[in-house]
Structure 1
Amino acid sequence: MTSPFTYLKHVREEFTHIVWPSSRTALGHTLIVIFIAIAIAILVGLLDYLFTLVVSQVAGG
């Protein structure tokens, strides 16, 4: 088992190998995720509304 200091040294070395995205790429991906989340929320809301209408018609309420 390695010591915590050795482990942290290896972690620091691995961080130098990370290729971080540019701010433009990160912003683009963030906007895509937000757009998809909003689209799914709208879809789920519409489906909920439609199922509520159908169930209320079937139940006679």
Structure 2
Amino acid sequence: MPRNALYASIVLVLAVTAAVVSFIEGNWLGVVWVLMAGVASNIAWFYIRKDRIERARAEQN
């Protein structure tokens, strides 16, 4: 797993945890954490897909 994807996955887990805690406490700031989790998820998938494409190109050559 690429390093950037790993970091994004860690941010994703932390953001989801923060969102759950915020909603349990009745704080609507959890919406921001949910949005951050979505962005982190997209970043992680981007770097994972990029790594797969680069590996496939390297195997073809």
1:51–1:22 distance in 2 versus 1, CA, 3 Å: same
Q: Which contiguous aligned blocks of 4+ residues in structure 1 show a shift greater than 2 angstroms? A: none
Distance, in Å, in 2 between the alignment partners of 1:21 and 1:35 is: 23
Q: Where does the alignment leave 5 or more consecutive residues of structure 2 unmatched?
A: 1-23
Q: Give the structure with higher Rg (CA).
A: 1
SS in 2 for 1:43: helix
For residues 1-61 of structure 1, what are the structure 2 equivalents within 5 Å? 20-23=25-28, 25-57=29-61
Number of residues of Structure 1 aligned to a counterpart in Structure 2: 38
Q: Where does the alignment leave 5 or more consecutive residues of structure 1 unmatched?
A: 1-18
TM-score, scaled to structure 2: 0.57
Q: What's the offset of the Cα at 1:29?
A: 0.5
TM-score, scaled to structure 1: 0.57
Q: Structure 1 vs Structure 2: percent identity of aligned residues?
A: 3
Q: Deviations over 1:12-42 (max 9, x none)?
A: xxxxxxx61411x110100111100000000
